[in-house]
Chains A and B, each alone.
Chain A
Amino acid sequence: MSSESEPPPALRLENVSHTFTAGGRALRALEDISTRSARGAVTGVIGPDGAGKTTLLRLVAGLLRLQRGRLEVFGVDVARDPDGVRRRIGYMPQRFGLYEDLTVRENLDLYGKLQNVAPAERDARDRELLHMTGLGPFMNRLAGRLSGGMKQKLGLACTLVRVPMLLLLDEPTVGVDPVSRRELWEILAHLVHAERLTVILSTAYLDEAERCQRVLLLHQGRLVGAADPASFTAAAYGRSFHVSVSGLGKRQLQERIARVPGVIDATIQGAFVRVVTESGVQLTSVALPPKSGPLHILSVPPRFEDSFVTLLKSIRASSGSRPPVQPRGGAERAMRSAGATTARATRASGQDAVIIAEELTRRFGNFVAVDGVSFTVRRGEIFGLLGANGAGKSTTFRMLCGLLPASAGTLRVAGFDLRRAAASARGRIGYMAQKFSLYGDLSVLENLRFFASAYRLEGPRRRARISWAIEEFELAPRAQDVSRELPLGFKQRLGLACALMHEPDILFLDEPTSGIDPLARREFWWRINALAESGVTVLVTTHFMEEAEYCDRLAILAQGRVLARGDPESIKDRARSAARPEPTLEDAFIALLQAVPQPSAA
């Protein structure tokens, strides 16, 4: 046990490593992690998919055998006394661990019995939990019929039926609408404050780091940072800027800034380019075209993500791997050479609409998944559909791809009415599905060949497109590798290459960067920007606010309806007030959601 004088910390890890073996191959999920977490605080485990977050939480909960190292929860060794640890924790797995065919009350009852909460206490506790989560009116509803946000709260309530010493939450906020996310954080803050609860939660949303008292940054199984987020963010102080230039598009500006030596990060945020530099770097050396105005540089407070990206880049540099690619108009060049010049010409001549949705509606029985959604997307535009899980994004998307007929409304894609000519329209569309939808058993090259055949490319064109894909997406080093075993960012590049094989005019991206690390996300958006510049119309669904910032225009969806439409800045304007002069897109989203009447219990 630990030292006698002070109580043991809530969590103590010493040289914890974990390896999975699958198909004869060993995969290091965690490597030599040592850290401790104080009592009565929220610790965030932060990192992209595959960083080892879930493995870490499962080890703490005693759900995986501790292979190496030492792990203690309130001084109890998890390897020696896993039941002792389980008595002290509440654990919510990913997707909340709810029985969807049981009602809210039945779920609470079950977990109450499993945790041996005395019946007398249970009533009082249930009332408290229901009050806290606002689930009271939904007691007799099946858990499967709840919205994502309500499921999340029910999952939380089930882990709290007996007050644990340590609450473990695995990605509690993924895919949940921003209001529910914010409410969860308020509940957690209350619990930590009122019940002296210790919380460890994992998340892929970097902006949530700032709400934790302490963050553990995981990257490829290693602990690359452990600190309180404020001090972590402070390291980037004075190096974050919003830059804009009149007379120059934000994407061109971003491309130019990224070339300046000493610039660590340049991302599009609304009307600005957000820049993070090394200390002492001047942005005045940005090469600007003759006719544009002067640079407007505004120093802004750093975000957690700025520091994280800085850290990741330094890790990449020190590990000797190649710096992240920034395809400087490479995709643009290739698309143009393949005949996209005409697209650019038309784009310059007129703002013609490529996708028109009018009063689009889709019902499944009594349930209206998409309810009168209208929007138009112009050529060469990046248009985003932003919303939580269940908001109707995927259904809208499937209708746009011609995979699902609309119940009502009109839908024209690339000039084709999707009710009559779905197949013709599909020939003009490139589609990249959520998650990895390529053939995992095929190699990179075989996947490319397959998609070339699927799009009926033949002869020299087929060869040209495959070699274009390999060069453009830098697939050559692993062309023979089985694609299932590729890292997430690489898979995603391959997915994009396959979607672009037939040089589509329109690109549909369904949650393209969810779960990948911020560097890979930036790389991905470089490519998307270049494509849009060359005249390709891009439609993207996302529940990541930061991803929405990349869009020219977007529509915010909730419960199948469009809450707002417009460019990111004008949507933010709706939440702008004296108290909040610089609202984020999330602030705006929340303000919009709160203006909508909430669903009743009926």
Chain B
Amino acid sequence: MSASLERLAGLLRKEALQIMRDPSALAIAFLLPAMLLVLFGYGVTLDPHNVPLAVVVERPDALTESFVAQLRGTSYFTPESFLSIQAADRALHSRQVSGIVWLRENFTRRVLSSGGAPIGVFVNGVDANTARLIEGYLQQVWAKWLVARGRSLGSARGLPIEVEPRVRFNPAVSSRDYLVPGLIALVMTLTGALLTSLVIAREWERGTLEALMATRATIQEILLAKLVPNFVLGMGGMLATLVLAVTLFGVPFRGSLLVLTGASALFLLAALGMGLLISSVARNQFVAGQIAVIATFLPAFILSGFVFDIGSMPWGIRLLTHIVAARYFVAILQSEFLAGNLWSVIAPNAVALCVMAVVFLGAARLRARKRLD
């Protein structure tokens, strides 16, 4: 046993030295997550902001003016006046504007008489996601304006205004608040699966693994020596992302650090299992990198519910998300950050992560042989 510990210590020391000396490992562990964080924190946002909007008012008066002012007053849109719907349409075609708001000549009359919704809205549907966002926010602006009109006109007129603000696109909370927590899952996938499989593939390429296998080191020791340092790196990446998210981006954290750490550890073990499994198939860094990106990173991105809602996926894809470990982790992450310790969410997802960690690590151990074939 002590002989085994001695070998393990030797291997661990070697891994630590290599990580410290290899800029690419540190880049994957810390630089890439930081880049992703900045990218998602600043660049990618699902809130509309200064969306160019064409406004066509066929018969301008005080009422239409007040609606346009309401539009102008939000940070969501930058309205631009067009004289005719045709001109606005051309602007939409040439992508000068992303949508058109059309107040017909009977606008004022109909608002005053029935309080209906007589505005025409055209949205460029090429980018379906943005289109739906614009639509949602326009409804919000419209509803607010109606409330304001109702107040200024006074209930004496008996205007039957009933506002039903349909909160469909997270209007209060910025999208950053749920994207950034999900990033932790991506960061850990990078270190757990991508970095691990790359590092082992490099040992295959350089022939050092072959040399290790001919020594007394057992396959458990060799695997463990790869697991431990990458586990530490992954947890470090998680912690760094958490700190940055809370301090730099002001993302709320409502859960407990203990639960988050536990769930992260489970997920990281599953990701490391994947990484080890990949490296038992891929013996050069190029193939290992490709498999890791396709089998772990992209699913963690697309199928985890991190950006795209799982509930709105077709059932086949929805079924597929169940074998993506990141799915369970993202659910826990979003609960921890946005809602707090919701045990009804955390417990089942943690169990799923546990199962996946056991399956992947077990499969990696079964596949690993102290042999080259």
Contacts and interface: CB of A to CB of B under 8 A. Distances in A.
Interface in B166-216: 206-208, 210-216
B206 A95 contact: yes
Given A93-B207, A106-B14, A114 B217 contact: yes
A238 B7 CA distance: 57
B9 interface: yes
B14 A99 contact: yes
Nearest to B208: A97
Contacts of B372: 58, 63-64
Contacts of A102: 14, 17-18
Nearest to A100: B206
A115 interface: yes
A64 B373 contact: yes
For this complex, into which size category does the number of interface residues on chain A fall? 35 or more
A575 B207 CA distance: 38
Nearest to A95: B207
A434 B13 CA distance: 37
A579 to B, nearest CB: 40
A63 to B, nearest CB: 5
A282 interface: no
A114 B371 contact: no
Most buried by A among B22, B210, B215, B217: B215
Nearest to A82: B370
Contacts of B370: 62-63, 82
Given A62-B371, A64-B372, A110-B11, A101 B17 contact: yes
Contact of B21 (A65, A101, A168): A101
Contacts of B10: 109-110, 112-114
B186 to A, nearest CB: 27
Contacts, number: 87
Nearest to B10: A113
Contacts of B7: 113-114, 116
Contacts of B217: 114
B3 interface: yes
Contact of B14 (A65, A86, A110, A116): A110
B135 to A, nearest CB: 50
A94 B204 CA distance: 12
A92 B210 CA distance: 9
Contacts of B9: 113
Interface string B351-373: 00000000000000000001111
Contacts of B6: 113, 116
A113 B208 CA distance: 15
A101 B18 contact: yes
A80 to B, nearest CB: 15
Most buried by A among B9, B210, B216: B210
Contact of B208 (A20, A63, A98): A98
Contact of B13 (A83, A96, A110, A159): A110
Contact of B210 (A63, A83, A99, A114): A63
A145 to B, nearest CB: 12
Interface in A66-120: 82-83, 86-87, 89-102, 106, 109-116
A113 B216 CA distance: 9
Given A93-B210, A116-B7, A63 B17 contact: no
B13 A63 contact: no
A91 B211 contact: yes
Contacts of A95: 206-207
Contacts of B3: 116
A114 B18 contact: no
Contacts of A86: 214-216
A111 to B, nearest CB: 7
Contacts of B213: 63
Contacts of B11: 110, 113-114
A69 to B, nearest CB: 16
A115 B3 CA distance: 9
A421 B371 CA distance: 52
B214 A61 contact: yes
Interface string A149-176: 0000000001100000000100000000
Interface string B80-101: 0000000000000000000000
A500 B3 CA distance: 60
Contacts of B18: 99, 101-102
Nearest to A64: B373
A571 to B, nearest CB: 34
A114 B212 contact: yes
B216 A116 contact: yes
Contacts of A93: 207, 210-211, 214
Contacts of A111: 215
A106 B215 CA distance: 16
A115 B214 CA distance: 10
A94 B206 CA distance: 9
Contacts of A92: 211
A88 to B, nearest CB: 11
Nearest to B373: A64
Contact of B214 (A91, A94, A112): A91
A350 B161 CA distance: 105
Interface string A470-497: 0000000000000000000000000000
Contacts of A61: 214
A63 B209 CA distance: 11
Interface in B1-26: 3, 6-7, 9-11, 13-14, 17-18, 21-22
B17 to A, nearest CB: 6
A64 B17 CA distance: 30
Nearest to B217: A114
A97 B211 contact: yes
Interface in B190-247: 206-208, 210-217
A100 B214 CA distance: 18
Nearest to A85: B214
B31 to A, nearest CB: 18
Given A65-B373, A116-B3, A97 B21 contact: no
B215 A114 contact: yes
Contact of B22 (A83, A101, A113): A101
Interface string A223-235: 0000000000000
Given A93-B210, A97-B210, A106 B216 contact: no
B159 to A, nearest CB: 75
A114 B218 CA distance: 9
A62 B210 CA distance: 11
Nearest to A117: B6
A82 B215 CA distance: 11
A63 B6 CA distance: 23
Nearest to A111: B215
A110 B345 CA distance: 46
A494 to B, nearest CB: 25
Nearest to B9: A113
Nearest to B6: A113
B79 to A, nearest CB: 57
26 contacts: A20-B373, A58-B210, A58-B372, A62-B214, A62-B370, A62-B371, A63-B210, A64-B372, A65-B371, A83-B216, A86-B215, A87-B216, A91-B214, A93-B214, A94-B207, A95-B206, A97-B207, A99-B208, A110-B10, A111-B215, A113-B6, A113-B9, A113-B10, A116-B216, A158-B211, A168-B214
Interface of A: 20, 58, 61-65, 82-83, 86-87, 89-102, 106, 109-116, 158-159, 168
Closest 8 CB pairs of A and B: A97-B211, A113-B10, A91-B214, A114-B215, A93-B210, A93-B207, A101-B21, A116-B3
Interface of B: 3, 6-7, 9-11, 13-14, 17-18, 21-22, 206-208, 210-217, 370-373
